[in-house]
Amino acid sequence: MSIDAKYLVGRKAKLSTFVEPFNPGVVEFLKDFSKELDNQKKTKNYPDLKALSFFCREKNILIFRKKYHNQDTIRYGLGLLFHITPSNIPTNFAYSLIFGLLTGNSNIIKVPSMDFDEIKIICKCLNVTLKLKKHTEVKNMIAVIKYSNRHEITKKLSLICDGRLIWGGDQTVKKIKEFETKPKNIDVPLSDRYSVTLLNSEKFINLPEYKKNILIQNFYNDTYVADQNACSSPHLILWHGKFFVKARTKFWSALNELVKKKYNPPAISSVDNFSRLASNFITNKNIKSYQILNKSLYVVTLKKIESGKIIEKSKWGFFYECDILDLKRIEHIVERKLQTITYFGFSKNYLFNFFKKHNFHGIDRIVPIGQALSINLIWDGYDLIKMLSREIDIR
Amino acid sequence: MKKFFSGIISQSSFTKDPKKKNIVFTKYINQLTSFHYKKSRLYKKYLNGLKYNPKKKYELSKIPFLPVRLFKEFDFLSIDEKKIYKILYSSGTSSGNLSKIYLDKLNALNQIKILQKIFNTINGSKRLPMLIIDKQILHLDRNKFNASIAAIRGFSIFANHVTYLLDENDEINYNQLNIFLKKNKKNNFLIFGFTHNVYLNLIERLDLNKIRYNSFSNALLIHGGGWKKIEKKKIIKKKFNDFLNNKLKIKNIKNYYGLVEQIGSIFFECKCGYFIPSNYSEIIIRDQNFKEVGYGKKGIVQLLSLLPTSYPGHSILTEDIGEMIYDPKCDCYGHGKRFLIHGRLKSAELRGCANI
């Protein structure tokens, strides 16, 4: 099959192969790809590439296999997956591909039209690894293409694929869904989401200094590493407990030190942040106070958690915060768009019981601070292994 | 407000006494800020957010600035809706939304008056024939080119006669051009166009074999609107001027700088290559923390103008990059600040997830 687009990987791939989830050949391929990526000099400069290579290690994949794959059933990939990947996180397309491979599918990936270095490096490593003879089968399972605003290509691919992973804004997802697909095609829409952080102020205040610093570093990794652009990067901080004022002061000033030392965003970010604050002055009636700690750390303190009102997703280190005395008030902001809660100062058990008791119409992930970006085979509430493969029911 | 203006407009365009200008300008800009605070509901909310005190007199660098992007999000008005005489829309911005600038009759009139006044100081008050590097306004799509139309209208007042280089299909009309050039064999004349249009048509497309009277050397060429569209071709000012010089022998070339969002802020390049604020406008260059920076440092451009009274656009934070210049040898127009523009802040292409 050939599409009139720019091929970054796999122009000659047949894309008709499908295998069982966690196929040994696929696992072997990911292992070799991980090594290749590690060997690139440039990888050292990109934390996101390091994370990707770490993700593909054999050990990590085998943990996934153990956790998510039932050896007693017969499962196969759906066939061909068409991935429309987003531009907010440069490495995202690679994870989408890995999920497609691990579930036993052939994959055609549309990457964003922006020229990210990460995309170039990843594709180079894919090409090098696919040249090895032992990966002939996997070679037929991967094509990475690039095109912009050419609906006829999206249309054509939508007609021949068996499943689509649609990453993108709500508008993108809506648009893509308009294209006709095979009757049995499965769509996995991974649309715009936002995320919040839940912090126990009392537990935070009582942390020894060095542990506070680790927590702040983890929070930084969740947010600033991807310019707060990931759907799973929090932009609203909810403070629970009695020590709101003391805790927030300590938290933001410590984060400020780290941001000043490490974060170097493009100049437009300072205008973006100030413009966002200005808009807030005009439209947001819920502002109690605000603080500009530096050009890349704005904190808007809200009066209360408002029901039915989602605060827009921000970036470049722009945060909203609110003091909540009763955890149940969280229900006022929970809606389908809320993806991740990162937390500190609560036991997993406590949160498990709390969220089991309240069946909120939202929240797909609850992870400790520091794991916001660690992508998983359960994502956005979907069990991707189950969704992207089919099971043969033998009795 | 009419009274306010009569004081301003009677001033000469440029000053020999920058200290005095600063005092007068600061006084007026404070008046304007508190005027808009009272008149525009949205602007008041913004200033309240900044804890602005309408009774306080602020020094120039402390006058609040409104990020220019907000004109895309909000309809800022300091007049009754019934008084809207003209709406300017900005074009060609990345986000797709348009800035909307509301003018009443007085503001629309003053914009032209001031443009003319500044231009006359620079080029004398004699009206000249003008070649416009565009097609006739009636062939331009009003929705897409509203700001361009406003600029063409504004500049064509310097002309006693106007010829358009392009026909309605965007082709060079050699017939018209030859008539124009023949007529002005011995006269000085003006050429006006947007930078990218001048580049495309005069430098790239114009076929010299089809011209019978090459009298381009009599021209003063005025161009503006930014280099963004020809950036890909790696065209910088020096190269642009050299091309025009070599091909058409045009020596007198003036770039201008201005924003749709702020009437009254119009800057013509002087002989030394700098932009110089008039008595009606001012510029401040700020770093990323919005601290004012001195000579030789690039930063974000804040523009101030005494003209906007129908909308609160008298002090805006642009997304352009500028630099203050210290050059005691430059004695053009008047004394005071000199600056350069170095393009626009690169917009981060990462916009949410949407990307089909």
CA distance A55 to chain B (A): 23
CB contact under 8 A, A87 and B353: yes
- Residues A182 and A204 grouped into a single domain: no
Q: Beta A80-84 vs A106-111: how paired, if at all? A: parallel
At B168-213, the pLDDT tens digits run 999 999 999 999 999 998 889 999 999 999 999 999 999 999 988 8
CB contact under 8 A, B70 and A87: no
Asked whether A181 and A161 are in contact (CB, 8 A), the reply is: yes
Q: Spell out which chain B residues touch chain A, with contact meaning CB-CB distance below 8 angstroms.
A: 42, 45-46, 48-50, 66-67, 69-70, 73-74, 288-290, 300, 317, 319, 321, 345-356
Q: What is the residue range of B25's domain?
A: 1-82+270-345
Structure tokens at A251: 């938290």
> How far is the C-alpha of B280 from the C-alpha of B28, rounded, in Å?
10
Helices (H) and strands (E) in chain A, counts: 14, 17
Q: Which of B46, B346, B348 sits opposite A281 (nearest CB)?
A: B46
CB contact under 8 A, B288 and A295: yes
Least confident of A240-249, B77-86, B94-103, B318-327: B94-103
DSSP labels, A114-131? S--HHHHHHHHHHHHHHT
CB atoms within 10 A of CB A119: 21
Q: Which of B73, B349, B355 sits opposite A172 (nearest CB)?
A: B355
- Residues B221 and B125 grouped into a single domain: yes
> How far is the C-alpha of A277 from the C-alpha of A271, rounded, in Å?
10
Q: Is residue A354 part of a domain?
A: yes
- Residues B196 and B332 grouped into a single domain: no
3-state SS of chain B is: CHHHHHHHHCCCCCCCCHHHHHHHHHHHHHHHHHHHHHHCHHHHHHHHHCCCCCCCCCCHHHCCCEECCHHHHCCCCCCCHHHCCEEEECCCCCCCCCCEEEECHHHHHHHHHHHHHHHHHHHCCCCEEEEECCCCHHHCCCCCCHHHHHHHHHHHCCEEEEEECECCCCCECHHHHHHHHHHCCCCCEEEEEEHHHHHHHHHHHCCHHHCCCCCHHHEEEEEECCCHHHHHHCCCHHHHHHHHHHHHCCCEEEEEEECCCCCCCEEEECCCCCECCCCCEEEEEECCCCCECCCCCEEEEEEEECCCCCCCCCEEEEEEEEEECCCCCCCCCCCCCCEEEEEECCCCCCCCCCCC
Asked whether A146 and A85 are in contact (CB, 8 A), the reply is: no
- Residues A154 and A181 grouped into a single domain: yes
CB contact under 8 A, A294 and B45: no
- Residues B108 and B254 grouped into a single domain: yes
CA distance A278 to chain B (A): 6
- Residues B228 and B329 grouped into a single domain: no
Number of domains in chain A: 2
pLDDT confidence band for B91 (50 / 70 / 90): low
CA torsion A42-A47-A48-A49 (nearest 10°) is: 30
Q: Give contacts of B288 with chain A, Cβ < 8 Å.
A: 267, 270, 295
Does A317 contact B at CB distance below 8 Å?
no
Domain at A283, CATH number: 3.40.309.10
- Residues A186 and A198 grouped into a single domain: no
**Residue with structure tokens 């050397």?**
B217
Structure tokens at A279: 């808009």
Q: Is residue A133 part of a domain?
A: yes
Q: Give contacts of B319 with chain A, Cβ < 8 Å.
A: 268, 271
Please, which residues bridge with residue B138 across strands? none
At A165 the pLDDT is 97
Please, which residues bridge with residue A299 across strands? A291, A319
Q: Is residue B98 part of a domain?
A: no
> How far is the C-alpha of A347 from the C-alpha of B81, rounded, in Å?
57
Does A218 contact B at CB distance below 8 Å?
no
Q: Which of A191, A229, A279 sits opposite B73 (nearest CB)?
A: A279
At B352 the pLDDT is 40
Q: Is residue A17 part of a domain?
A: yes
Boundary-marking domain end, from B258, B289, B305:
B258
Q: Is residue A212 part of a domain?
A: yes
CB contact under 8 A, A168 and B351: no
> How far is the C-alpha of A275 from the C-alpha of A40, rounded, in Å?
39
Q: What is the residue range of A358's domain?
A: 194-368
Tell me how far CA of residue A304 lies from CA of A20, A200, A276, B142, in angstroms: 50, 17, 20, 46
Domain at A136, CATH number: 3.40.605.10
Going residue by residue through chain A, which has 395 residues, state the pLDDT in tens, using 9 for 90 and above: 667 889 999 999 999 999 999 999 999 999 999 999 999 999 888 888 999 999 999 999 999 999 888 888 999 999 999 999 998 889 999 999 999 999 999 999 999 988 889 999 999 999 999 999 999 999 999 999 999 877 899 999 999 999 999 998 888 899 999 999 999 999 999 988 899 999 999 999 999 999 999 999 999 999 998 899 889 999 999 999 999 999 999 999 999 999 999 999 999 999 999 999 999 999 999 999 999 999 999 999 999 887 666 678 889 999 999 999 888 888 888 888 899 999 999 999 999 999 999 888 889 999 999 999 989 999 999 999 999 999 999 98
CA A230 to centroid of chain Cα atoms: 6
Does A289 contact B at CB distance below 8 Å?
no
The DSSP code for A145 is: E
Does A291 contact B at CB distance below 8 Å?
no
- Residues A283 and A177 grouped into a single domain: no
> How far is the C-alpha of B110 from the C-alpha of B112, rounded, in Å?
5
CB contact under 8 A, B300 and A270: yes
Please, which residues bridge with residue B309 across strands? none
Asked whether A125 and A33 are in contact (CB, 8 A), the reply is: yes
Please report, as a single letter, which amino acid is at residue B138.
L
Per-chain mean pLDDT for chain B: 89
Closest residue in chain B to residue A84, using alpha carbons only: B356
CB contact under 8 A, B49 and A275: no
Q: Give contacts of B352 with chain A, Cβ < 8 Å.
A: 88, 169, 192, 313
Does A34 contact B at CB distance below 8 Å?
no
Report the half-sphere exposure of A60 (CA within 13 A, side-chain side): 16
- Residues A17 and A124 grouped into a single domain: yes
Please report, as a single letter, which amino acid is at residue A170.
D
Q: Is residue B331 part of a domain?
A: yes
Structure tokens at B182: 């023949």
Model pTM score: 0.91
Q: Is residue A374 part of a domain?
A: no
Report the residue of B41, B48, B302, B355 to disrupt the A interface, i.e. the one with the largest count of A CBs within 10 Å: B355
Q: Which of B288, B290, B350 sits opposite A88 (nearest CB)?
A: B350
CB contact under 8 A, B351 and A87: yes
List the end-to-end C-alpha distance of chain B, in Å, as a whole number.
49
Look at residue B315 and give its three-state secondary structure: strand
- Residues A172 and A234 grouped into a single domain: no
- Residues A386 and A356 grouped into a single domain: no
Boundary-marking domain end, from B202, B230, B258:
B258
Look at residue B82 and give its three-state secondary structure: helix
Closest residue in chain B to residue A289, using alpha carbons only: B49
Domain at B157, CATH number: 3.40.50
Q: Which of A333, A83, A331 is nearest to A190 (CA)?
A: A83
Does A351 contact B at CB distance below 8 Å?
no
Number of domains in chain B: 2
Asked whether A347 and A340 are in contact (CB, 8 A), the reply is: no
Q: Give contacts of A176 with chain B, Cβ < 8 Å.
A: 356
DSSP labels, B253-267? EEEEEE-TTSTT-EE
Structure tokens at B37: 């605070």
CA distance B299 to chain A (A): 9
Boundary-marking domain end, from B258, B285, B311:
B258
- Residues A214 and A351 grouped into a single domain: yes
- Residues A209 and A297 grouped into a single domain: yes
- Residues B190 and B287 grouped into a single domain: no
Q: Please name the residues between 151 and 190 in chain A that touch chain B, using a CB distance below 8 Å.
A: 151, 154, 167-169, 171-172, 175-176
Q: Is residue B92 part of a domain?
A: no
Structure tokens at B130: 């003008």
**Residues constituting chain B:** 356
Structure tokens at B205: 């497309």
- Residues B159 and B15 grouped into a single domain: no
CB contact under 8 A, B346 and A172: no
B219-224: strand order across its sheet: B159-164, B128-132, B189-194, B219-224, B252-258, B266-268
- Residues B219 and B316 grouped into a single domain: no
Which of B126-159 are b and which e, b meaning 16 or more Cβ less than 10 Å from the residue's Cβ? Answer: eebbbbbbbbebeebeeeebbbbbbbbebbeebb
- Residues B112 and B209 grouped into a single domain: yes
Q: Which of B66, B290, B355 sits opposite A112 (nearest CB)?
A: B355
At B355 the pLDDT is 35
- Residues A300 and A341 grouped into a single domain: yes
Q: Give contacts of B317 with chain A, Cβ < 8 Å.
A: 271, 274
Domain at B35, CATH number: 2.30.38.10
- Residues B23 and B163 grouped into a single domain: no
- Residues A130 and A58 grouped into a single domain: yes
- Residues B249 and B127 grouped into a single domain: yes
At B117-176, the pLDDT tens digits run 999 888 888 889 999 999 988 788 777 777 788 888 888 888 999 999 999 999 999 999
Tell me how far CA of residue A197 lies from CA of A228, A362, A380, B119, B171, in angstroms: 13, 15, 17, 57, 59
3-state SS of A312-347 is: CCCCCCEEEEEEECCHHHHHHCCCCCEEEEEEECCC
Q: Is residue A375 part of a domain?
A: no
Q: Is residue A10 part of a domain?
A: yes
Q: Which of B42, B70, B354 sits opposite A171 (nearest CB)?
A: B354
At B213 the pLDDT is 84
Q: Is residue A300 part of a domain?
A: yes
Q: Does residue B353 surpass a pLDDT of 70?
A: no
Q: Which of B46, B288, B356 sits opposite A267 (nearest CB)?
A: B288
Q: Is residue B194 part of a domain?
A: yes
Which residues, in sequence order, are CB contacts of B77 under 8 Å at separation 6+? B40, B84, B102, B310, B311
- Residues B145 and B225 grouped into a single domain: yes
Helices (H) and strands (E) in chain B, counts: 9, 13
Does A96 contact B at CB distance below 8 Å?
no
> How far is the C-alpha of B331 from the C-alpha of A28, rounded, in Å?
73
Q: Is residue B235 part of a domain?
A: yes
The DSSP code for A373 is: T
- Residues A198 and A345 grouped into a single domain: yes
Q: Give contacts of B289 with chain A, Cβ < 8 Å.
A: 270, 294-295
